[in-house]
């Protein structure tokens, strides 16, 4: 009788512990989930006595309108200086849509399409400045891996895009079509789901 009672208690304890683990989960998204994410980057180079550097910051917010579809917005901020001591600052905003193929699992794959606009300014060491307006439509793929129920690591790769840039006062704009097969264009970031 003792063995049966101890076995029943052990079985209940194991079942309770297992239920708690399933309740906590390993992460994943579902309808109504919200997330904030962001990437930070810093590039620095030196050629002789000349130096260049750039700091980038890109926070984002997203909301799951269905089990698989998230809509959101992202800011793109960058500041730097090149070899000719030209200071560059950039500010942009994007709206994006993502389709998650496996949203409820710990490891999730998604496709993203984004439309954005922005402005940048070049300030020259000898005086003077140029200002630019930008517009872009871009698409890419990415993956999210949940470390626990709230935190995930995210990697995104912008694979396809059309971007245009026009200098203030200029008649023509520079138009670029990009098919990015270069894997050095991968962005890493953190995601917090709430």
pLDDT of residue 105: 86
- Contact in structure between 85 and 75 (CB atoms under 8 Å): no
pLDDT of residue 8: 37
Residue 77 pLDDT exceeds 50: yes
Q: Could you give the number of structural domains in the chain?
A: 1
The pTM assigned to this predicted structure is 0.78
Residue 188 pLDDT exceeds 90: no
Q: Which residues are within 8 A (CB) of 30 and not within 5 positions of it... i.e. 6 or more apart?
A: 64, 67, 103, 104
CA distances from 110 to 132, 141, 161, 175 (A): 32, 6, 17, 27
pLDDT of residue 11: 35
Q: What is the pLDDT of residues 9-26, one digit of tens each?
A: 333 333 433 333 344 456
pLDDT of residue 48: 83
Distance between start and end Cα atoms, the chain: 48
Q: What is the pLDDT of residues 116-174, one digit of tens each?
A: 999 999 999 888 899 999 999 999 999 999 999 999 999 988 789 999 999 998 889 99
Give the sign of the dihedral formed by CA 3, CA 9, CA 15, CA 21: negative
pLDDT of residue 95: 98
- How far is it, in rounded angstroms, from Cα 81 to Cα 172? 26
Residue 33 pLDDT exceeds 60: yes
Q: What is the pLDDT of residues 39-75, one digit of tens each?
A: 888 888 888 888 899 999 999 999 999 999 999 999 9
What would the two tokens of residue 179 be? 């098919």
- How far is it, in rounded angstroms, from Cα 166 to Cα 119? 9
Q: Which residues are within 8 A (CB) of 32 and not within 5 positions of it... i.e. 6 or more apart?
A: 63, 64
Residues spanned by the domain of 7:
2-193
- Contact in structure between 91 and 115 (CB atoms under 8 Å): no
Q: What is the pLDDT of residues 87-98, one digit of tens each?
A: 999 999 999 999
The CATH number of the domain holding residue 148 is 2.40.160.20
- How far is it, in rounded angstroms, from Cα 94 to Cα 138? 10
CA distances from 189 to 25, 120, 133, 155 (A): 22, 24, 27, 6
């Amino acid at each position: 009788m003792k063995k049966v009672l101890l076995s029943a208690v052990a079985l209940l304890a194991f079942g309770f512990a297992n239920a708690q683990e399933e309740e906590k989960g390993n992460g994943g998204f579902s309808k109504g989930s919200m997330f904030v994410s962001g990437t930070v980057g810093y590039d620095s180079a030196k050629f002789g006595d000349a130096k260049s550097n750039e700091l980038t910051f890109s926070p984002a917010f997203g909301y799951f309108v269905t089990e698989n579809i998230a809509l959101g917005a992202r800011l793109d901020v960058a500041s730097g200086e090149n070899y000719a001591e030209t200071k560059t600052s950039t500010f942009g905003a994007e709206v994006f849509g993502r389709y998650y193929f496996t949203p409820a699992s710990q490891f999730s794959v998604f496709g993203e399409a984004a439309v954005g606009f922005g402005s940048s300014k070049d300030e020259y060491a000898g005086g003077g400045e140029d200002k630019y307006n930008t517009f872009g439509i871009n698409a890419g793929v990415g993956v999210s891996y949940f470390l626990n129920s709230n935190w995930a690591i995210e990697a995104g790769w912008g694979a396809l895009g059309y971007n245009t840039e026009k200098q203030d006062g200029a008649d023509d704009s520079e138009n670029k079509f990009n098919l990015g097969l270069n894997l050095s264009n991968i962005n890493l970031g953190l995601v917090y789901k709430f």
